[in-house]
Amino acid sequence: MSIGHTLLGLLESGPRHGYDLKRAFDEKFGHDKPLHYGQVYSTMSRLLKNGLVEVDGVEAGGGPERKRYAITEAGITDVQTWLATPEKPEPYLSSTLYTKVVLALLTGRDAGDLLDTQRAEHLRMMRMLTERKRKGDLADQLICDHALFHLEADLRWLELTAARLDKLAKAVTSA
Amino acid sequence: MTAPAGSLLSAQDLRKAYGPTNALDGAHFSIHPGEVVAVMGPSGSGKSTLLHCLAGIVPPDSGVITYNGRELSAMSDGERSALRRSDFGFVFQFGQLVPELSCVENVALPLRLNGAKRKEAERTALTWMERLEVDDLAKKRPGEVSGGQGQRVAVARSLVTSPRVLFADEPTGALDSLNGERVMQLLTDAARSTNAAVVLVTHEARVAAYSDREIVVRDGKSRDMEPVL
């Protein structure tokens, strides 16, 4: 999962301190793997250097942790591009896809659109594997089948998530 | 509204309501000869209604369906029925074969209904059964063959008139993975060899992977998914 894009997405709803960002990230996406402070500050200084965020204010007595960050126009474009670009289909994508869906809902973007784009990318890969299977020997068929079943599992998750978008939108925006 | 260039069958802005339920709410579709298009979407999204409208089985409340340059709504019921017999083939999930007839008689049935002589119809039927690898079941009745075999017989029957469009509604829905895949492989191979267009309604991704592209139907609206390259 891209921590930089996720933090940028969280900033779209308004400027935040590094500490607030970490807390919001852990609440929504951290689950059993919360961010270290060091990760937050190193990520923010990279985003700052690349012009994707700017310092919105520094509180008195402040070391680096007291900086308040705001997303720039370039940052919003970067989030948009990340959300609109489908992930390369590979096993265990769910945490990245989940993050993208939640961020799309949080920032008022079309999460259904994102899921449809991802589905098309998965199906494109499945078509390639199916074609390889048609022409291949038994070993090829078994290898392709293994990949196809994994991709199918992802797709079922995409379908189920699409069917639950309204519920998920309520849950994430009320949290 | 005009049909997309080169399309064999197309639909623009289809709407169809059953009572208060909008089964189709502005759906679009187009397919070219030799193309396999998967129609995907959750249960109740309007996939089957779209197929029934495209095949002229159910008239839409509004919208335009064009087949081979002619609007379906401009045809009489008789003309639409004739079109279904001559140009369209159908495969459904189950319950398609006539139990009292042998498998070869089932496959030959569409030809017989179009006036072909029995011997000639059964000879053609047998060549299709060979392509679907079920010619050894010719004399058996549907009740004596497995689900996968029966479905291959049904596919042979749907192709026996060399239709220009094959409508397949969840054709592997009642089969296990291995049989489902074999049916899809044989069905798409046979359709491609005759340049037939296939409208494939499915909610299974591994079945849709046999298509050239997919459209997604959700809440009666369709979305054409262009592959991301």
So what's the pLDDT on residue B2? 62
So what's the pLDDT on residue B142? 94
* Nearest C-alpha neighbor of A116 from the set B217, B28, B45, B11: B217
Q: Which residues contact A149 (CB under 8 A, 6 or more apart)?
A: B206
Distance (Å, whole) CA B48 – CA B127: 30
User: B229: distance to nearest CA of chain A, Å?
Assistant: 9
A1-85 has CATH 1.10.10.10 classification: yes
Specify burial of residue B134 (Cβ count, 10 A radius: 0-12, 13-18, 19+): buried
Radius of gyration (C-alpha) of chain A in whole angstroms: 19
Total number of residues shown for chain B: 229
So what's the pLDDT on residue B229? 40
Query: What's the mean pLDDT in B45-53?
Result: 91
Distance (Å, whole) CA B163 – CA B85: 9
* Nearest C-alpha neighbor of A71 from the set A83, A87, A55: A55
B9-221 has CATH 3.20.20.210 classification: no
So what's the pLDDT on residue A61? 63
So what's the pLDDT on residue B5? 76
* Nearest C-alpha neighbor of B27 from the set B13, B46, B40, B17: B13
B208–A126 CB contact, under 8 Å: yes
- pLDDT at residue B99 greater than cutoff 90: yes
Alpha helices in B160-215, H assignment, sequence order: 177-193, 205-208
- Asked if A153 is an interface residue toward chain B (Cβ–Cβ < 8 A), one would say no
What type of residue sits at position A113? D
pLDDT confidence of B219, banded at 50, 70, 90? confident
What single string gives the DSSP state of each residue in A2-30?
Answer: -HHHHHHHHHTTS-EEHHHHHHHHIIIII
Interface probe, candidates B189, B225, B226, chain A, greatest A C-beta count within 10 A: B225
Q: B228: nearest CA in chain A?
A: A121
Query: What's the mean pLDDT in B63-74?
Result: 92
- pLDDT at residue B1 greater than cutoff 80: no
Which tokens belong to A73? Answer: 């126009």
So what's the pLDDT on residue A30? 76
* Nearest C-alpha neighbor of B11 from the set B41, B45, B44, B56: B56
Select the residue of B42, B225, B228 nearest A163 (Cβ to Cβ). B42
Contacts of A148 in chain B (CB under 8 A): 206, 209
The 3-state DSSP class for residue B30 equals strand
Q: Mean pLDDT over all residues of chain A?
A: 88
So what's the pLDDT on residue B102? 97
- pLDDT at residue A51 greater than cutoff 80: yes
Select the residue of A123, A156, A162 nearest B214 (Cβ to Cβ). A123
Tell how far CA B174 is from the center of its chain.
16
- pLDDT at residue B227 greater than cutoff 60: no
So what's the pLDDT on residue B3? 66
So what's the pLDDT on residue A163? 87
The domain limits of chain A are: 1-85, 86-175
- pLDDT at residue A63 greater than cutoff 70: no
The interface predicted TM-score (ipTM) is 0.80
Query: What's the mean pLDDT in B48-64?
Result: 93
Instruction: Name the strands in the sheet holding B197-201, side by side, starting at the edge strand that comes first in the sequence.
Output: B88-91, B165-169, B197-201, B36-40, B213-218, B221-225
Query: What's the mean pLDDT in A76-101?
Result: 85
So what's the pLDDT on residue B226? 59
- Asked if A132 is an interface residue toward chain B (Cβ–Cβ < 8 A), one would say no
What type of residue sits at position B88? F
Say what the pTM is: 0.81
Q: Which residue has the tokens 């989030």?
A: A79
So what's the pLDDT on residue A171? 87
- Asked if A164 is an interface residue toward chain B (Cβ–Cβ < 8 A), one would say no
Distance (Å, whole) CA A93 – CA A113: 18
Query: What's the mean pLDDT in A68-86?
Result: 93
pLDDT confidence of A93, banded at 50, 70, 90? low
Question: Tens digit of pLDDT for each residue in B160-191?
Answer: 999 999 999 998 888 888 888 888 998 899 88
So what's the pLDDT on residue B195? 93
User: B131: distance to nearest CA of chain A, Å?
Assistant: 16
Q: B222: nearest CA in chain A?
A: A116
What type of residue sits at position B8? L
Question: Tens digit of pLDDT for each residue in A159-173?
Answer: 889 889 989 988 888
User: A151: distance to nearest CA of chain B, Å?
Assistant: 9
Distance (Å, whole) CA B38 – CA A19: 48
Question: Tens digit of pLDDT for each residue in B4-17?
Answer: 778 999 999 999 99
- Asked if A142 is an interface residue toward chain B (Cβ–Cβ < 8 A), one would say no
Q: Tally DSSP H helices, then E strands, for chain A.
A: 8, 3
Contact B149, B157 (CB under 8 A): no
B228–A120 CB contact, under 8 Å: yes
The 3-state DSSP class for residue B207 equals helix
Distance (Å, whole) CA B29 – CA B187: 21
Choose between A127 and A66: higher pLDDT: A127
User: B166: distance to nearest CA of chain A, Å?
Assistant: 20
Q: B45: nearest CA in chain A?
A: A163
Which tokens belong to A48? Answer: 């700052």
So what's the pLDDT on residue A91? 63
B185–A134 CB contact, under 8 Å: yes
